[in-house]
Amino acid sequence: MAGPHEVLGMSRVLGIGTTEFLALYTDNGGTTLRSEADGPCVFLTASGCRVHPRRPLVCRLYPLGRMTDETGVERFGVFPAQPDCEAEAGHEGTVSSFLESQGVAPYLEWSRRYGELYRRMMGLLDRLDIQGKVDAGEGGGAAEAAPAGPGSAGSGQEPDRASHRAPDREPISSWQDIDASLAEYCAAKGSTPPREIDEAIALHLRAIGEWLDGLELQLGEVPNNPEGAREP
């Protein structure tokens, strides 16, 4: 699995934008890294991982796995060893010391913040009865409908299901595509998308938060936006 912040980081290692990265290297609507036909990850080479400096959280955690329940409470467990993996897992130390050694802190923080927004969005979609409309055939699946929209933050519109569709592939949600989302968001604000990765992620989270604010206002609710209280 790869979140939008991880897609951004890996795309910058390769010197390309997130739209191109998603089209070239991901499947399942941009949420999983593509594999070669015989199995290994598309970034695995004889000399190691091509995106190692910005490898995703799941790769940093291995052989640990992180699970979160619907309220965001997280637990860590140990994955069974992968048959093709040549790494040797030790049994010394603590989960905390392992996480620190792998530099996961910012990745966990971003993942928690996107997860928070995702849970907020799913609740909103239930209340807006978007799912019912999707089921009734207005187009797109839940996975497509749910993550769309941060580029139209603050517009007060329903999720627009904007996506980039490669032939014969599941559509890529605009939720995943930070460059495209921020280009649209910043154009509407008359600003320039930040070049620095952490700043771009923070602004993307803010854009999604503002978009959800608009939907909550549309429902006559008081926006509950933890991102709004954070510095961009």
CB of 97 to ligand SF4, least distance (A): 20
Asked whether the beta carbons of 203 and 182 are under 8 A apart, the reply is: yes
Nearest to 210 by CA among 175, 179, 185: 185
Distance separating alpha carbons of residues 217 and 48, to the nearest angstrom? 48
CB of 199 to ligand SF4, least distance (A): 23
Nearest to 183 by CA among 153, 210, 140: 153
CB of 56 to ligand SF4, least distance (A): 6
Nearer to ligand SF4, 59 or 178 (CB): 59
Nearer to ligand SF4, 59 or 145 (CB): 59
CB of 51 to ligand SF4, least distance (A): 5
Q: Check whether the bond before 159 is cis (ω within 30° of 0).
A: no
Asked whether the beta carbons of 42 and 34 are under 8 A apart, the reply is: yes
Nearer to ligand SF4, 34 or 127 (CB): 34
Residues in the chain: 232
Q: Where along the sequence are the contacts to ligand SF4 (CB under 6 A)?
A: 33, 41, 43-44, 49, 51, 55, 59
Positive or negative torsion for Cα 113, 115, 118, 119: negative
Nearest to 230 by CA among 200, 214, 209, 216: 209
CB of 1 to ligand SF4, least distance (A): 11
Distance separating alpha carbons of residues 173 and 165, to the nearest angstrom? 9
User: What letter represents residue 42's amino acid?
Assistant: V
Nearest to 203 by CA among 218, 215, 217, 191: 191
CB of 101 to ligand SF4, least distance (A): 15
151, containing H or E segment: none
